[in-house]
Amino acid sequence: MFVPLTFAPSEAFQFDWSEDHARIAGERVKLQIAQFQPSYSHAFVLRAYAVVLCQSLAPLRVLTQGAGAAWRMKTAPFRRRLEDAPALRRLLHRYVDVLMRQLAQTAACTRFHVVEERLARWLLMTQDRAHADSFDVTQEFLAFMLGVRRVGVTTAAGVLQSRKLIHYTRGNMTILDRDRLETAACACYRSDLEIYRHGLKIVRNL
């Protein structure tokens, strides 16, 4: 059974709740799983943070936002590698810390900032990962990621386009003026980048 939570317009955090049952040690156990939008402010993404924290089950649903290549490694050899490589283990612990900080930042951003600012932030983050000024994205997907109705995305994108910061047509988004788009975004974008850079700097100094 999948039960999405209900939020007021413009306040919805990308967060869903689902329930299922599994048999563990011969007993039927109800599983309750929270699924929400994790950090998305940089290109490097590690999906195995649950393994780093010695968890056996993935706590989050993963959503691929664009085409690209990915590496996959089985859990057992990955854990053995963590035991044999203290430097790698420290690096991944720092990454988990960065991820948790960015999750908190995203929760606050979704609650307190207007759609136009959050859309600008999301477009900047997507450009960072796409390494291109243009990328394909639909209004339905933007509404899903921002947790608002499609009309909210239409209005916010229209404001940014009227200011000649972006050009959007038929599912294709082009960033026209990145510097001004950063100014239009909420401070969370710069904060996320600083969290990431600070985390990596600490790792390099270990």
Q: In this predicted model, what pLDDT tens digit does every residue of 136-175 receive, in sequence order?
A: 999 998 998 888 999 999 999 999 999 999 999 988 999 9
Separation in Å, CA 25 to CA 21, 22, 28, 29, 75:
13, 10, 8, 10, 21
Q: What is the pLDDT of residues 27-39, one digit of tens each?
A: 776 655 444 444 4
Q: Tell if the pTM clears 0.75, that is, is over it.
A: no
Q: Is the pLDDT of residue 41 over 50?
A: no
CATH placement of domain 114-185: 1.10.10.10
Contact 10, 148 (CB under 8 A): yes
Q: Is the pLDDT of residue 67 over 50?
A: yes
Nearest to 61 by CA among 41, 38, 35: 35
3-state secondary structure of 198: helix
Q: What is the mean pLDDT of residues 18-44?
A: 53
The segment with the largest mean pLDDT, out of 74-83, 89-98, 124-133, 194-203, is 124-133
Domain map (residue ranges) of the chain: 1-36, 114-185
3-state secondary structure of 22: strand
Q: Phi first, then psi: what are they for 64, rounded to 5°?
A: -85, 125
The secondary structure of residue 48, as a DSSP letter, is T
Q: Phi first, then psi: what are they for 133, rounded to 5°?
A: -80, -20
pLDDT at 159 (0 to 100): 96
Distance from chain centroid for Cα 136: 17
Q: Give the H or E element holding residue 157.
A: helix 150-162
Residue listed under structure tokens 């975004």? 185
Q: Is the pLDDT of residue 101 over 70?
A: yes
Distance CA 83, CA 92 (A): 12
Q: Is the pLDDT of residue 205 over 80?
A: no
